[in-house]
Amino acid sequence: MITVHHLNNSRSQRVLWLLEELELPYQIKRYERDKTTNLAPRELMDVHPLGKSPVIDDNGTVFAETGAIVEHIIDSHGGGRLKPDPDTDDYRRYKYWLHAAEGSYMPPLVLALMVGRIEAAPMPFFARPIARKLAKGIRDAYLDHTVNALFKYADGELSARSWFAGENFSAADIIMSFPLEAGVTRVEAAKKSKAIAGYLRRIHDRPAYSRALEKGGPYDYA
């Protein structure tokens, strides 16, 4: 039996969705973020030393990192589902997007979240111009260009095909859902993309996506 150590408002929602798509039995152990710091509780460190989510326990073996968890579930329990045939262009795209979600898309999105918090944080009036200048410097030098380039690329890929790997839904779409859901709330290139908007409508219409939300609870990706 797979146990999902599920943190509210976290990327572990995608693991629940994957398990629902595959119709696999699993159980959920719930954790709540600290209401002041928004950090995961220390109890998660009893499961994995980093104390992060998602983490799963599959019959006594603990797996962390979303991409590693998705690959383990697909390879060990998928029965060939939600993965294109090897040695195809669809499979090569599948592998790319499976790793691009956490490797390329989420780091700058997290940085954007942190920069936004710096800009909005309460501080003495004399410190505010310094904080705003620092935040603007990060945006101008790296952040805005990077995130817009990423989402323009995603727009081009989704304009050319229905799903990230090709014309068939795959686990790559599950792992890419979170950066796209977050992106449309704060990245201009994502907000303007009709292809991304259509893609999000398609994933939100999937019954397994709805079941995962019912079991895991709503999450705020903004």
In whole angstroms, give the CA distance from residue 113 to residue 128.
18
Give yes or no: residues 187 and 153 share one domain. yes
**Contact (Cβ atoms closer than 8 angstroms) between residue 25 and residue 1:** yes
Question: Tell me: the pLDDT tens digits for 124-138?
Answer: 887 788 888 988 899
Task: Residue 189: give the domain boundaries.
Answer: 89-206
pLDDT at 144 (0 to 100)? 93
Give yes or no: residues 139 and 170 share one domain. yes
Contacts of residue 191, defined as CB under 8 A and 6 or more positions apart, other chains included, come to 184
Instruction: Rounding to the nearest 10 degrees, give the CA dihedral for residues 148, 151, 152, 156.
Output: 180
User: What's the average model confidence in pLDDT over 12-41?
Assistant: 91
- How far is CA 177 from each of CA 39, 50, 124, 154, 196, rounded to the nearest angstrom? 22, 24, 38, 11, 10
Q: Which residue has the higher pLDDT, 120 or 79?
A: 79
Contacts of residue 190, defined as CB under 8 A and 6 or more positions apart, other chains included, come to 151, 154, 155, 180, 183, 184, 196
CATH number for position 7? 3.40.30.10
Give yes or no: residues 111 and 146 share one domain. yes
In whole angstroms, give the CA distance from residue 131 to residue 108.
19
Contacts of residue 95, defined as CB under 8 A and 6 or more positions apart, other chains included, come to none
pLDDT at 157 (0 to 100)? 98
Residue 222, pLDDT above cutoff 60: no
Give yes or no: residues 200 and 121 share one domain. yes
**Contact (Cβ atoms closer than 8 angstroms) between residue 15 and residue 29:** no
**Which two three-digit tokens encode residue 163?**
């799903």
Give yes or no: residues 19 and 70 share one domain. yes
Residue 35, pLDDT above cutoff 90: no
Give yes or no: residues 11 and 94 share one domain. no
Residue 33, pLDDT above cutoff 90: no
Give yes or no: residues 75 and 21 share one domain. yes
Q: Could you tell me if residue 111 is inside a domain?
A: yes
Whose tokens are 């060990």? That residue is 76
**Which two three-digit tokens encode residue 160?**
């050319």
Question: Tell me: the pLDDT tens digits for 52-94?
Answer: 889 999 999 999 999 999 999 999 999 999 999 999 999 999 9
